[in-house]
Amino acid sequence: MTHDKSQMVAFPFSLTTSPFPISHLLPCVCRAFKINKLKTEVTNRLTMLEKRVELEGMKVMEIEKCRNDIKKLREEICHLSKETMEALTLPTFDAWQWEPNEMLSCLEHMYHDLGLVRDFNINPITLKRWLLCIHDNYRNNPYHNFRHCFCVTQMMYSMICLCSLQEKFTQMEILALMTAAVCHDLDHPGFNNMYQINARTEMALRYNDISPLENHHCAVAFQIFSQPDCNIFFNFDPEAFKQIRQETITLILATDMARHSEILKTFKQKVDNFDYTNKEHVACLKMVLIKCCDISNEVRPMEVAEPWVDCLLEEYFMQSDREKAEGLPVAPFMDREKVTKSTAQTGFIKFILLPMFETVMKLFPQIEEVMVKPLRESRDRYEELKQTDDAVNEKKKSENLTMDGEK
């Protein structure tokens, strides 16, 4: 599907100060967020009106007028086409077509569309600032970057819509799912937990080798929330904040692939007699949902999914090259001399993705056609590619043996 960008307008804020160094991001980000004079003027008006609303002693009529003006201005600044809004609800959405400022506008739309801004009294200006700060704190890695963050969150939004999750979960749980998806890889350094532990990095030492990356993502997320201008939970009472913090942390920690077997096994034990009134059942389902979204690239069309494999392998190879240089253990699936695209994806789809998505399908049969079927097709395609690769390798091996014999 081709999405109409004619009605898309750039995200209306300058970059905010990040709690972590982002000098490596600034050149491309500044270009992405360049806005013309008109949008700057509208933004200034929007900020001024928002401050007026916050002033004490304003008359009810004045406050209502300001709110209406804010709503009108927000629509002027960032307007997604109907086609784009519909496409965002589908697993087929192609994020490669969009610039960072456009993806930020899409994320903002999701929070509004799900009723989260309304139900939790989130300041729309704070939402924009928070999303910009989120962008600032994703590094420019080949794979674990802001576009990956967007894809995971868009897939979560898609699953919420497709599976009617707002009928199953509370709005607080929906907010936690979306926010955890946005924050789940914040400040990822491009080197996985095994590297952190084996290299005895500061991160591994800080978190005692227990999910160092995921703990770090959580810490960065809540450091951002500690900035008043970026705290979308500002209007939460202490108990509500404690709940959203705990739920968000639990979900982000669940994305550590070292816990995959444990989480999936627990979910399989519950799925046949699943009870939405059972807190343990619901908590387990939410962990599985964010896991599905985190590794969902192969659910998407081939032309969308395949570039992500190249990005991931590039990041893997960067790590394995460093591990070899530092004399650290190297995982075979990350070694450029041992892994191919076909071998990497065949095993991952067969033994990780399909078992998990097929289990989720027991609760939500509607995902079979749009998620499980594409996964099966992707598995078949990579198995065929693997057979071709194996045949080529066997031929080369045979030719080399013949040449050696002639010598």
Annotation-wise, does 136 bind a ligand? no
Q: Is 3 annotated as a binding residue?
A: no
Is residue 20 left, alpha or beta, with left meaning phi > 0 and alpha meaning psi from -120 to 50? beta
Q: Annotation-wise, does 188 bind a ligand?
A: no
Residue 145 annotated as binding?
A: yes
Angstrom distance (rounded) from CA 32 to CA 147: 13
The C-alpha angle with vertex 305 and arms to 113 and 96, in degrees rounded to 5, equals: 60
Residue 185, annotated as binding a ligand = yes
Which whole-number Å values give the CA distances from 3 to 54, 81, 151, 204, 368, in the listed order? 38, 9, 16, 42, 24
CA atoms within 13 A on the CB side of 225: 23
User: Beta-carbon neighbour count of residue 55 at 10 Å?
Assistant: 10
What lies within 8 Å, CB to CB, of 141 at 6+ separation is 188, 189, 190, 315
Q: Which two tokens stand for residue 320?
A: 């394995």
192 is in an annotated binding site: no
Q: What is the dihedral of CA 355, 361, 366, 370, to 10 degrees?
A: -10
Residue 44: which of 64, 18, 14 has the closest Cα?
14
217 is annotated as an active-site residue: no
The reply to whether 294 sits in an annotated binding site is: yes
Q: Residue 176 corresponds to which tokens in the numbers above?
A: 């936690």
Do the annotations mark residue 166 as ligand-binding?
no
Query: CB–CB of 355/264 below 8 Å?
Result: yes
| 148 annotated ligand-binding residue | yes
The torsion of the CA quartet 251, 255, 258, 260, rounded to 10 degrees, works out to 80
Catalytic residue among 144, 188, 217, 281: 144
Whether 206 and 184 have beta carbons less than 8 Å apart is answered as no
Binding region for Zn(2+): 148, 184-185, 294
Binding region for AMP: 144-148, 185, 294, 345
Which residues are identified as catalytic?
144
